[in-house]
Structure 1
């Protein structure tokens, strides 16, 4: 890539994203240094990327560096990034790097981008499935796991890009052909410094040719109306107006892209329930913006199956369903999960990251048979329950196995035990998947007992 040849670039972070960025930079002719707080992660790169300088724990950029490519989790107040900015060195993320590399291609791929507080991974998976049903060479990438630079260099024609607020913060130039903002609620406020900055980062997905937003969410509707995109498209779980996608008589209907069209039946959508239908409408909107016909939308939605730990029914024991929604890592996601059940024993807790659970408990507390709390911020959740639904029994436990046993004793036939923590997992687990697996194993132990 011409703009990278001969440049001295510092990559901040030696994880999956940092490794892919460093590899792409090397291939483009840049001189690359990688830094990380973990000497082990750097050592793992030594054999993979010969020719890269590996320096642990940098707090200032090395002399001569004129670009920093940061991994998305690095906060803007990190001393290294602050020092780079103070020295006039541009700091961007791997997604921004991929965007600039794509701009130099003779025939760059189309970007269709997805963000939101919840539902991103499901939506981008649905979008990939729909595009492939239409015969399009498409791949889901970004926050879903495959770095965007890897997807770009693989030569795919359409990139279905999941973007976190962190990635969007570090991507000032990205303008997808179509981008969707699914929903917006408090999350990662400790990283961004407040709700306004978090919302502003998310709204960057609406700066391309077609902006799509979930208009049932008032915050999203306001951001959509203010978006600089040439075309604005809303989606709703109600009947759509002209220029929107929505639901009519059990069918997903498009009234935005050409003549009114039935895209799919609600029964074609997995996972079932309102969150799944909303995600399907969002994916359909992006696919329709690309020109995918209705038949391919339906086939792609039928073909798609959600990933693990996303509202998965693990088992039914003695008339009680046990649901693993470990991916519900914030209050907004947990509220959507509880909304699918009339009566639930809620397993919750972890790291709230500065988010409030009051709205969640106030709005969904009537569904709770009881609550079982684990993790670092369980007292915050307990206080909200005491304020808004003091009649709901609350049990405080130390482990996931204890939580499942306690939930069993509290549940009645017809209830669901819903593990939707409303919080991040890193206080007790490696990640949400580890937490979800712990729940699954505890339920399996219950079945054997």
Structure 2
């Protein structure tokens, strides 16, 4: 006798836009939250449920399904062992049921029309989350062009608040609610990063604490990684390498960093930059070697979050190595990484290009090449030089170093005239 298909599960999957593979993925994630171990389901597992070949999944899997859907397993069409599927209603009984359903629906609609304000609450779905993510992409793009600006921080924070407001605007499945919390955490994390990039560290820490809470509520490993990794970078910029290593270790010890070599590579590269700031050359070199190896092992086709795809690549790896070797005083190696970074930077990464160009000028000046260093520093766009907090600070330090090493040189005079023109247009 052929097993009866699970029509209830199929209908729920269609309503929520799930394929067999995508449902397996979210249930695996829910299993990890429940048990501490990532589930081993795949598309064939879900197809077994839909076909009726598996009528009552294991207890942990059922709990995960209930978390994802917000419904009991029986409402999803699963049948406990020892029970049979309910018999279909006889035709006459079925017709009567349809009539009652229709009459009940008309009555409900009439009542809603007569009594405004008592209509059913709005249904929040995946499309609502996707609309927020589309607007988030615009903020990420602005960050790559003009990082560190207060307006970027404010827009990201406002979008996080909007995601939380949506939580209370209607009904939603557990999966959608978790996605909303994850989105709010990602937006708040971007507000944090904009504050870090603008050297507004007190504000950044406040964003960090809120983002961490939201990430825990979402159970999303990727956004937890992002927030703790950002925290490590923040503490590095604040001159607190011990705190930076501790925060970055939280990110690196998450399951996602052990499962996906790209997350492992990012965590290791940021660890290398922290070791550089702490003047631990051997540890920094080892971390960057391991990061490069992890990148080579990764699957480029694996699904990863938008925020990671937007910036993490070989150019960012070289940027972090550049920062580390500048801190270590290894200026020739720093210059090498600067050139490699600039050669592979994506065109839209204007903020990163300005930072890398400024660091390259520092590396060249430290090696005594004042003319080349000055020519490099003059390539930094005026808006980045005057409006980006980190770039402005590094260029002031470049000016001081140039005056100290070659105060009467043609390069120093040229640089003074150039910065005067910057200030005039600012």
| TM-score normalised by structure 2 residue count | 0.29
Higher relative contact order, structure no. (Cα contacts within 8 Å, ≥ 6 residues apart): 1
Write 1 or 2 for the structure with the bigger share of strand. Answer: 1
Larger Rg: 2
More helix by share: 2
What TM-score comes out, normalization by structure 1 length? 0.28
